[in-house]
Structure 1
């Protein structure tokens, strides 16, 4: 057979086996992406809980007399709870049907777009049974959980309330504040253990659980914070009567304001936190390259496939001969088995150039060049493995046989490189025996403007290779972070959109609840325009309050993660002040937009009909 003829050095597979492997690999990659999307969907559902909770709370408050009358004619507390939860079940089922239909439509549209812009033809759209079941289970569960507290509150309405016509009294905030403090403490504790402790395989779940519980705790504390904060923000608009009325209205019900603002807080907090982490990572990477890489020009291959791009090492030999170039080194990288442990290995094309450009510091041993069978190892790995100069290790590269290497020296670990450094001859047995990057250090007096055109001319016959200066190289390295940030912001926009709908919904129900009050205001001289301004001020104050809360919480969360990642090289904390200001400004704009429909409805109320409204 072919396998026997080629020997053990090669792997022979049938076309069907290769197709199955590629299909499985694609499924694994899509599963990871699917989990990410599910995470953002969970955030959207979490924000949706605030919207549903607020809606049922307002509806129960508006129907106080009706529910009290039901109690007066014999309905039990359990029946009241069942009635409210039945409404929640119906709404949940309707939402599940609409959500499932919208999801199928979006999926079909995305598949059509993907097929139109790629050579891959997708199979017919299929809807798995698990997706249908999940849609109904999640829709019902989320709605019922969100409606449970309002349902219990409705069951406590006394029958005597049917004979009263008074506003619902404000409940003290003591219990919700204590609960919020306890829940927040639990969330922060989980976060601390996950970020700074040693939780092993449970680390990710501790962090995610800590974030979720912290958000719930902060949401419970928000009513306590909302009253003074909303009053302070509202003073910006108190120069006019509509502005003063809007300020008072936005602070008259701390719980309602808090729930509405908390929904917006979650989305903005996550966006702010991710921005802090990625901006800090970019600044840290820039500082790392600036302090540890003394190369003015970088040569690299262009990305043309799934593997890391490489180029012909002969390019580096030619570059070393150019006038104005002082040192050149390239890097081969791969994974190997060292004493049967899979680890990262790399090999510079020229060790002397590597030491000069990357400031390699030897702690033990002095080696200018490595001979075949020699290697260097960083001090941390050497200490962990008990290696000293003269120790031997067994190395199995991607090709060839297992080889014994002798430790010729130990170098100081860097945030840029660590592990086993092999001689350039070993790269012939790497998976891809070509360098992934080349670094050029210029001679004293030489400038990038002088040397880069010469390197470009040298690479004229090598279209797969490009050269960049330090600024362009850094931009290339951080470009992925910028793309990731944009993608996360787009996905989190769904949660923010739901929060905006929550503001619209709260204002609309509030206008309905205050119909008589609005009619009286119109009757004593408040114009339609002033009524609209009053509603708009309410929306803007709530939106800005939610944004401020989100920016503060997100900054704290991001700073904690950056601090926890200090040992991974993220040593600079960057707070994106300009973006925070933009978030708050956009929140104010969102408030104006969210107020349009409720404000128009309030302005169009019939004055006499509104006064007679019960």
Structure 2
């Protein structure tokens, strides 16, 4: 379609028969972007793929509407832009109803759309991923600025010696840090905008790939309409927050380190002698940790008393991590290790508490808290035992006489600088932790999806559905097709199911003999009191016993075999329950339901499965109570395809699809659904994983910076080592081994804690019945890639260290 084209308007479908009457014509004056008002749909009208805009009077004339001031609907725009205007929705609705009365239906289109987006938790998902990426970034900044302060320690001590006040010394390093931070924050914001644009483009490309797998007409039109709504938009406050966050965090670290250096002994600072905690500072740290333990205990008690699972869990977790710090002892490695392991064990078995179990899986904040607890406890356990690692590794490699000195030197530096090593390990572990999570959980979902093939259409190959509720082909016509083997008719009915003191609208499906004989639903929980030993016995029992029903736990999760359900027929279904709209779940009022109750006994339940098209109640068609039989919402066909192989079945499906060229009846092949869902799942996870790869750069850059810093710090030591016989190869190897030690511990810690968190998530009551699958090949590949990348990033400083001449190094003074 182009500007200047002429269109004929068919206002009344009956005019198709009156071919001698000319249709009104309109000319396309302009084609506008497909967003905003172009996506508005009138109530109870289906999407036609496009919208035409005309002057109201001309439209009435073209459509032969002779009633003045006639409107299908009025569209109201609130004050403000397309986001902030939603805040005034309640006031506008109240004003409209005060003017025109309560009988007018007011649709809160923008408010409902934004609410639906918020319920999708996309923002919370990226927030959860960003929390750990931000944590890794904060650790990198802390490490860098602590090293900066350490590097400036001698110069600042000299300034103190020649008369600078403590205040001026603090300002000196503050100004230097501010200069670095102001530029890096600006560059970081621009890089963040580029990454956000890349992620949005990836999502659009994912939809393009997925739409090619949708096996019915009109998918491209629907996608083009959806695609136009993906517009890259950046709010000014988001830029401001990101810039300020990147500026404030370094400033806090610099202010702390500057103040600390300004109070350091001048002689100690000038001679660059490492400063250790004295008894006074140790006691202050113990007291602060004890106060933290007390606050954590109060937080845990308050959370438990108020029913706040997240508060209770965080309180217990912080208390467990702070107790070792509060104990005034020097050698307390066993105590520190015990409490770190105790926090992990408590987290893994936290669902033993009813308060936590009832919120596990449904609270994103509790999930983040559990993951953080396992990660932090694992990190503390590693840092507390760095010298133990050093001892064990030295014992392991002491027999390798040539490599033993190199190994001992490389491990000694990392083990004795616990703060710097711990921060670097944490950078790696935090990002690997999240990557492991989004590798294991989606992989488990994908494996369950493949294994759930027989659940989608109850074991049948194809489902035939009608959007209008009236199929264009009969059962006998479909059955007579040579491509069709067994065929079953399933009739969906809207019924009101009593849930405590209210009624909810659900679907009850009446199944025929073909369904009873040919379905392949095997994961079913039976009523132990009945004489049922196999799925075939169950379906025969359903057919032979009236007033019995099989229930899917996807719609009624609390129902168990042996329960009795109260059902009532639905009188007023609003949209008459036709087509897919009849499947919408919503609460019903007493005026909408029949007064005659029907009681059905649950003989079995089907475990939760979100991809099944029969999520509801199943009953044999001849046993449907008369009180419910008048509420048929839609009829659908399930059938198996002829063919001995998957290729033959797919070919028969395409042939049958060509024969049934209907806009009202479309066919879905079970493998197409599996492929579509798998493609969307894998594509989404790939996008999220690529988002985290940028965070992984933080760890790789961090370890490269540390190695460059180590090169300058150890220049004199390297000269001494070479003077006593170390070769270039040994110096080079020592740097690479130090990098390997830090990177491997960080990567392994991230994988182990991520796996433990995945196990804990799947142990929650919300994930009951779901199995955990671990993609070992993906985790091994990820480990090798990040390990090699870490080694590559340190080749330059390692090579530079190996080239230092002993005489030059021994004369070096930083």
Give the alignment's TM-score, normalised by structure 2.
0.59
Aligned to 2:134: 45
Return 61-70 or 487-496, whichever deviates more: 61-70
Aligned to 2:431: 267
Q: Cα RMSD (Å) of the superposition?
A: 5.3
Aligned to 2:245: 138
Aligned to 2:317: none
Aligned to 1:461: 659
Map Cα deviations across residues 306-344 of structure 1 (whole Å, 9 max, x no partner): x99999584875564567977434667798765664454
1:79-118, aligned counterparts within 5 Å?
Answer: 84=173, 87-104=176-193
Contact 1:540 1:589 (C-alpha < 8 Å) held by counterparts: no
Q: Does 1:62 align with 2:151?
A: yes
Structure 1: tracts of 5 or more residues without a match = 3-7, 302-306
Query: Secondary structure of 1:459's match?
Result: helix
**Partners in 1 of 2:248 and 2:168 — Cα distance?**
20
Q: Which has the larger radius of gyration?
A: 2
Q: CA 1:545 to 1:148, structure 2 compared with 1: closer, same or farther past 3 Å?
A: farther
Query: Secondary structure of 2:129's match?
Result: helix
**Partners in 2 of 1:446 and 1:580 — Cα distance?**
37
Aligned to 2:809: 610
Cα deviation, residue 558, structure 1? 0.7
Aligned to 2:791: 592
Contact 1:528 1:603 (C-alpha < 8 Å) held by counterparts: yes
Contact 1:350 1:369 (C-alpha < 8 Å) held by counterparts: no
Aligned to 1:158: 265
Q: CA 1:291 to 1:496, structure 2 compared with 1: closer, same or farther past 3 Å?
A: same
Return 550-559 or 325-334, whichever deviates more: 325-334
Q: Does 1:392 align with 2:539?
A: no
Contact 1:539 1:595 (C-alpha < 8 Å) held by counterparts: yes
Cα deviation, residue 494, structure 1? 1.7
Contact 1:362 1:409 (C-alpha < 8 Å) held by counterparts: no
Q: Does 1:129 align with 2:328?
A: no
Cα deviation, residue 62, structure 1? 3.3
**Partners in 1 of 2:676 and 2:713 — Cα distance?**
55
Aligned to 1:280: 444
Aligned to 2:73: 13
**Partners in 2 of 1:78 and 1:498 — Cα distance?**
33
**Partners in 2 of 1:47 and 1:115 — Cα distance?**
29
Map Cα deviations across residues 518-545 of structure 1 (whole Å, 9 max, x no partner): 2334455545454333322222221111
Cα deviation, residue 153, structure 1? 5.1
Return 501-510 or 201-210, whichever deviates more: 201-210
Q: CA 1:400 to 1:153, structure 2 compared with 1: closer, same or farther past 3 Å?
A: same
Aligned to 1:503: 703
Return 487-496 or 19-28, whichever deviates more: 19-28
Q: Does 1:204 align with 2:204?
A: no
Contact 1:276 1:558 (C-alpha < 8 Å) held by counterparts: yes
Aligned equivalent of 2:773, options 553, 574, 591: 574
Aligned to 1:412: 604
Cα deviation, residue 398, structure 1? 5.3
Map Cα deviations across residues 105-125 of structure 1 (whole Å, 9 max, x no partner): 556777899999978668997
Aligned to 2:690: 490
Cα deviation, residue 489, structure 1? 1.6
Contact 2:361 2:367 (C-alpha < 8 Å) held by counterparts: no
Q: CA 1:124 to 1:410, structure 2 compared with 1: closer, same or farther past 3 Å?
A: closer
Structure 2: tracts of 5 or more residues without a match = 1-10, 12-42, 46-70, 87-107, 209-223, 287-320, 326-335, 531-539, 578-591
Cα deviation, residue 273, structure 1? 2.4
Q: CA 1:591 to 1:159, structure 2 compared with 1: closer, same or farther past 3 Å?
A: same
Cα deviation, residue 549, structure 1? 0.8
Query: Secondary structure of 1:399's match?
Result: coil
Q: CA 1:602 to 1:448, structure 2 compared with 1: closer, same or farther past 3 Å?
A: closer
Q: CA 1:479 to 1:214, structure 2 compared with 1: closer, same or farther past 3 Å?
A: same
Return 8-17 or 54-63, whichever deviates more: 8-17
Aligned to 1:328: 487
Map Cα deviations across residues 401-442 of structure 1 (whole Å, 9 max, x no partner): 845373455342211465444779989875xx464x835398
**Partners in 2 of 1:294 and 1:122 — Cα distance?**
36
Query: Secondary structure of 1:412's match?
Result: strand
Contact 1:233 1:541 (C-alpha < 8 Å) held by counterparts: no
Give the alignment's TM-score, normalised by structure 1.
0.76
Query: Secondary structure of 1:400's match?
Result: coil
Aligned equivalent of 1:345, options 499, 507, 510: 507
Q: Which has the higher contact order (CA 8 A, sep 6+)?
A: 1
1:375-386, aligned counterparts within 5 Å?
Answer: 376=549, 378=551
Aligned to 1:536: 736
Cα deviation, residue 261, structure 1? 1.4
Contact 2:736 2:795 (C-alpha < 8 Å) held by counterparts: yes
Aligned to 2:584: none
Cα deviation, residue 512, structure 1? 1.7
**Partners in 1 of 2:490 and 2:256 — Cα distance?**
61
Aligned to 1:255: 419
Cα deviation, residue 130, structure 1? 1.0
Cα deviation, residue 75, structure 1? 6.4
Q: CA 1:111 to 1:158, structure 2 compared with 1: closer, same or farther past 3 Å?
A: same
Map Cα deviations across residues 49-103 of structure 1 (whole Å, 9 max, x no partner): 1111212232333344344445556767777666555554444333322222334
Aligned equivalent of 2:753, options 540, 553, 559: 553
Cα deviation, residue 459, structure 1? 2.9
Contact 1:355 1:361 (C-alpha < 8 Å) held by counterparts: no
Count residues with an aligned counterpart: 595
Q: CA 1:49 to 1:545, structure 2 compared with 1: closer, same or farther past 3 Å?
A: same
Aligned to 2:379: 219
Return 386-395 or 499-508, whichever deviates more: 386-395
Cα deviation, residue 297, structure 1? 2.6
**Partners in 1 of 2:168 and 2:362 — Cα distance?**
43
Q: CA 1:566 to 1:608, structure 2 compared with 1: closer, same or farther past 3 Å?
A: same
Q: CA 1:586 to 1:396, structure 2 compared with 1: closer, same or farther past 3 Å?
A: farther
Q: CA 1:216 to 1:28, structure 2 compared with 1: closer, same or farther past 3 Å?
A: same
Query: Secondary structure of 2:509's match?
Result: strand
Contact 2:425 2:742 (C-alpha < 8 Å) held by counterparts: yes
Greater helix content: 1
